[in-house]
Structure 1
């Protein structure tokens, strides 16, 4: 199988290289900053952005939130099936 990512530098405008399940936590950051979040079942999301701001948003089912995220907080998050788009 050929790998088109093998010799490419990771960029923010290219595709993510992985999709990682997220377990919301009030104090722990994600292992890698997310380029975006994918949410299977909609609801509220409480996130900490790359800039360090805490934000609350409501998303629908099967949503993609194209914001750099360092943490998904447990308090204030009702959405489920959250996954982080990452570049490693």
Structure 2
């Protein structure tokens, strides 16, 4: 029996629930496939990123399993110590 989705005809927005995710491999030269709505890591640490705005920042001391609402275009290998990075959309 297929899963019922009572909200299939609603459009996704930044305030709605996360509907998808993908693993991110940090890379200093390449943007990720899709700008995130949020990010989560499975191993705590710093996350060095380029935000959707183009600003490069380091997000310090992210905790594993916490959803952080950052619009990220690139996760940099340089300066990233967190592991298991997941982009959430």
| Deviation per residue, 1:6-52 (Å, 9 max, x gap) | 21111111012101111111121111110111011111110000111
Equivalent residue, structure 2, for 1:75? 78
> In structure 2, how many angstroms separate the alpha carbons of the residues matched to 1:25 and 1:42?
18
> In structure 1, how many angstroms separate the alpha carbons of the residues matched to 2:26 and 2:6?
32
Q: In 1, are the aligned partners of 2:40 and 2:64 still within 8 Å (CA)?
A: no
Matching of residues 3-82 of structure 1 within 5 Å: 3-58=5-60, 59-82=62-85
Larger radius of gyration: 2
- What SS is found at the alignment partner of 1:64? coil
Where is the strand percentage greater, Structure 1 or Structure 2?
Answer: 1
Q: In 2, are the aligned partners of 1:25 and 1:73 still within 8 Å (CA)?
A: yes
Where has structure 1 moved over 4 Å in runs of 4 or more? Answer: none
Aligned residues: 86
Q: In 1, are the aligned partners of 2:44 and 2:82 still within 8 Å (CA)?
A: yes
> In structure 2, how many angstroms separate the alpha carbons of the residues matched to 1:68 and 1:4?
27
> In structure 2, how many angstroms separate the alpha carbons of the residues matched to 1:73 and 1:4?
38
Structure 1 gaps of 5+ residues are none
Structure 2 gaps of 5+ residues are none
**Cα RMSD after superposing both structures:** 1.2
